[in-house]
A and B are shown apart, each in its own frame.
Chain A
């Protein structure tokens, strides 16, 4: 049973436009959400996170939105750049009692076209 779902395996966006990556979850106990970025032949690297007490968190070109009632989060990248081409994973955790257990989604491959 997939608790964290990324239903779009791939996404292509023109350089300079907005990229929107989506993630849905089923476990209402999740209260911390993260996005990781992964380039080929490298380990994932942390991008941005949000706790359940917020509905938005920004870091430069990256913004994560959380809709708790819909159990949905999204990552917005504006403007998209060719260097953003990578696989993006969302992950969720139950907070202090489960911080060592991140559940990851299946990933979305983003391709930014120059």
Chain B
């Protein structure tokens, strides 16, 4: 199992450019999420999905778009990059509720710099 994979590892964008951060998991997890990590702000939830075709907004969704056409993939799209979106982005996946047992796994992250 590769677990949760993210590409690219690092990306530099100019203000106004668009791009897609890729996330894939091979554990057949229903739930997938995108977080961003900023200094002093911790991990903040951007968007999440509870299954193929179902997505919803997290704490900081503005400027980002997601879709979930398959169980395995959950791409995050930046529509028009802004310097405020400079951050480290983490994708995570987990199983559905099985009691109070943690099953969430994070990917290695994508470091994004917007100039």
A residues contacting B by CB (< 8 A) are 4, 6, 9, 32, 34, 41-46, 49-51, 89, 91, 95-96, 99-107
Contact = CB atoms under 8 A, between A and B. Distances in A.
Nearest to B35: A104
**Which of A51, A96, A100, A104 has the largest number of chain B CB atoms within 10 A?**
A100
Contacts of A50: 100
B102 A34 contact: yes
A100 B44 contact: no
Contacts, number: 61
Interface residues of B, number: 27
Sorted nearest first, the 10 A-B pairs with minimum C-beta distance are A43-B106, A51-B100, A106-B42, A104-B43, A100-B31, A104-B42, A49-B102, A99-B97, A96-B97, A46-B102
A58 to B, nearest CB: 15
B108 interface: yes
Contacts of B82: none
Contacts of A46: 102, 104-105
B45 A102 contact: yes
Contacts of B102: 34, 46, 49
